[in-house]
Amino acid sequence: MKARDIMTTAVETLTPDATIAEAVRHFSATRRHAFPVVDATGKLLGTVNIWHVLQHVLPPYIVSGDLPDVRFAPDLNQLHERLASMREQPVRAIMNREPPTVRPTQSVLECAALILNTPKTVHLLPVVDDAGHLLGVVAPFDVIKEIA
Amino acid sequence: MYGIATFFLDLVAGMEVVTESTAHTVFGWPPLVVATSVFVLSYAAIIADKVNRAIVALLGAALAVGLGVVTQEQAIRGVDFNTIGLLTGMMVLVGVTKDSGIFQFLAIKSAKMAKGSPWGILVMLSIITAVLSAFLDNVTTVLLVAPVTLLIADELRISPYPLLFAEINASNSGGTATLIGDPPNIMIGSAAHLTFNDFILHLTPLIIVVFAVTLVPLWLIYGRHLSVSPQARERVMAFNEYAAIRDVRLLKQSLTVFGLVILGFVLAHPLHLEPATIALGGAALLLLLVTLGAGQEEASHQLHEFFTRVEWVTIFFFIGLFIIVAGVEHAGLLKLMAEWTLSFTGGDFAVTTMVVLWVSAVLSSIIDNIPFVATMIPMIKDMLPAFQAAGVPPHQLEGLWWALAAGACLGGNGTLIGASANLIVAGIAERSGVPIRFLPFLKVAFPLMLLQVGISAFYVWWRYL
């Protein structure tokens, strides 16, 4: 079985100029954790997921793991300010510009391996043609739904 | 019957035979040339920093043995296991203790004691860094204090740079104060038979003065420009330091064992105990207490985790270096260097002591002070008989060791690459978008280091010369 057999083709996408606030509304409305970001021609530019947003909200020394435990700080004052300041920033500022992708002819096994073995959790695997145009996406669920 | 006693007798006899054997260099090359080449190449590679220093040191050690500069037995006798044991024991103790959250507690408590004033926080965090560095290794200290500092600076809306700068300085200065504060001191104490109490009596007073005097330029350069709003102060005062304590049982166990270990260091002399025995004994006791009551599998898992926190890279670096230095020592290079130094200083004890202090400081600000001190120790030992013959009393001779310790440890303050702790802070700062650059750091740090070594020079002159 190939990626094209299990991929979802009716994909909701974001443009790079969409604001982070719009992206968050999208996450919330669709209950999805990640979206591909494409230009006007449908070419894949990157992916954005809720962890990207979260990483952007937290101070870098917490994201890097240098300060893993902040239970002594009653609330991070700067959290609210950062959230407010992010609202109008474009998605391109936080998206992953080099997400792992697959071709439609790659095997489901390869898709599963990519989803699991990439250093940062992959929430969606874009399927692209040779020119980099988005054809569909493979989500972790698509790999295992055969079981059900 | 071949009993256990016979086995040990054979073992001892075997060791004696081995001890008798002497090294022969391959192809009959002159040992001095081979040993010096291995030494120079290894140190050049350590300074170039392209390959991890532990790998370089172990390769150099393998070459020293492989080319016949020293036998394996001589190499192993060259390794100061008192230093290795003390380092490893303290690393285990700290590795276990840090899970309790005590170090974050201390950092936040100190910031709150300053009532949120930025200069007060700089001073308090520096004091806590210096005190922790005096008893723990400097890298661990800054790894625990620097991230909390970034958070505090964020909440105060000030640049963390002055605070981090002061902490780097405090960490190296604090490490100079005690036998266990900095690896060079551990080596010096072990080689020159200087006890924990000797360091407290001779170096701690100097470091208190150095620390206090350093605050003056720090205030002029950074402190007087720091100001924060009342709201910012309140944000820091709202921190709950008690929430940082993650494990009260572990805290009690750790503090008890730490207390016993320090007591052990203080009483080491009357108890006839070497520091390695005390540190490793303490580590074993703490590991026993922590794993007590856990199932066998859980205990094994915990133990495995704790041992991974020992910085094996540093430990193996030490082992390799000791062997390389044993090579040049056996070959007679260090004796030659000692003679050269004495002819340069005219055999004058005061001049030699000052040269040792200043050269140690300047070189340690550029190269790693561990290989430097590892080389200096046997060299100084070679010089001592000449001074003894010239009638220099023993308490004055000790001044040479204090000059080496103060120079080598405080030298780390001179540049960003002067000590591992400096680079660790720079790394944490860089990840948070506050890069600490080499030259801007140098401009403030190097003159400060010269000031500190100047104070040390006065102290050594006043007390020992």
Please tell me what DSSP assigns to residue A121.
P
**Is a pLDDT exceeding 70 seen at residue A29?**
yes
d(Cα B245, Cα B240) in Å, to the nearest integer? 10
Q: Give residue B14's pLDDT band: very low, low, confident or very high (50, 70, 90).
A: very low
What is the pLDDT, as a whole number, of residue B20? 36
**Cβ neighbours for B400, distance < 8 A, ≥ 6 positions apart:** B349, B352, B353, B356, B380, B383, B384, B387
What is the pLDDT, as a whole number, of residue A137? 94
Please tell me what DSSP assigns to residue B116.
T
Which tens digits make up the pLDDT trace of B80-105? 898 899 889 988 998 899 889 998 89
Residue B234 near chain A (CB below 8 Å): no
Domain boundaries, chain A: 3-147
Query: Are the Cβ atoms of A78 and B154 closer than 8 angstroms?
Result: yes
Nearest to B399 by CA among B356, B370, B365: B356
Select, from the ranges A73-82, A93-102, A119-128, the one with the highest average predicted confidence (pLDDT).
Answer: A93-102
Query: Are the Cβ atoms of B246 and A69 closer than 8 angstroms?
Result: yes
- Token pair 């200043």 is at which residue? B358
The residue type at A64: S
Phi, psi for residue B121 in degrees, rounded to 5: -65, -40
Query: Which of A64, A69, A76 is closest, CB to CB, to B431?
Result: A64
More confident residue, B455 or A33: B455
What is the pLDDT, as a whole number, of residue B11? 43
Q: Give residue B438's pLDDT band: very low, low, confident or very high (50, 70, 90).
A: confident
Q: Give residue B27's pLDDT band: very low, low, confident or very high (50, 70, 90).
A: confident
d(Cα A67, Cα B203) in Å, to the nearest integer? 33
Q: At what angle do helices B230-237 and B138-156 cross, to 10 degrees?
A: 130
**Is a pLDDT exceeding 90 seen at residue B174?**
yes
Which tens digits make up the pLDDT trace of B308-319? 988 888 889 889
**Is a pLDDT exceeding 70 seen at residue B12?**
no
Q: Give residue B350's pLDDT band: very low, low, confident or very high (50, 70, 90).
A: very high
Answer for the pair B121, B163: CB distance below 8 angstroms, yes or no.
yes
Residue B412 near chain A (CB below 8 Å): no
Phi, psi for residue A35 in degrees, rounded to 5: -135, 145
ipTM score of the complex? Answer: 0.73
Q: Give residue A20's pLDDT band: very low, low, confident or very high (50, 70, 90).
A: very high
**Is a pLDDT exceeding 60 seen at residue B335?**
yes
Nearest to B256 by CA among B93, B64, B51: B93
Query: Are the Cβ atoms of B154 and A59 closer than 8 angstroms?
Result: yes
Answer for the pair B292, B253: CB distance below 8 angstroms, yes or no.
no
What is the pLDDT, as a whole number, of residue A148? 67
Phi, psi for residue A36 in degrees, rounded to 5: -75, 150
pLDDT above 70 covers what percent of chain B?
A: 95
Q: Give residue B19's pLDDT band: very low, low, confident or very high (50, 70, 90).
A: very low
Q: Would you mind telling me the total number of residues written for chain B in this entry? A: 465
More confident residue, B7 or A13: A13
Tokens describing residue B65: 């043995």
Q: Least CA distance to B232: which residue of chain A?
A: A77
The residue type at B206: L
Cα A46 off chain centre by: 8
Cα B261 off chain centre by: 18
Residue A88 near chain B (CB below 8 Å): no
**Is a pLDDT exceeding 50 seen at residue B291?**
yes
Q: Give residue B23's pLDDT band: very low, low, confident or very high (50, 70, 90).
A: confident
Strand partners, A134: A128
Nearest to A111 by CA among A98, A120, A122, A95: A122
Cα angle: B165, vertex B170, B173; to 5 degrees: 130
What is the pLDDT, as a whole number, of residue B2? 45
Query: Which of B108, B432, B433 is closest, CB to CB, to A72?
Result: B108
Q: Give residue B332's pLDDT band: very low, low, confident or very high (50, 70, 90).
A: confident
What is the pLDDT, as a whole number, of residue B1? 42
**Is a pLDDT exceeding 60 seen at residue B146?**
yes
**Cβ neighbours for B325, distance < 8 A, ≥ 6 positions apart:** B39, B78, B334, B374, B375, B378
Q: Would you identify the CATH topology of the domain A3-147?
A: CBS-domain (3.10.580)
Q: Give residue B5's pLDDT band: very low, low, confident or very high (50, 70, 90).
A: low
Nearest to A90 by CA among A31, A126, A54, A37: A37
DSSP string, B344-374: HTTT-HHHHHHHHHHHHHHHHHHS-HHHHHH
State the average pLDDT over residues B20-29.
Answer: 71
Identify the weakest region by mean pLDDT among A26-35, B161-170, B330-339. B330-339
d(Cα B203, Cα B153) in Å, to the nearest integer? 32
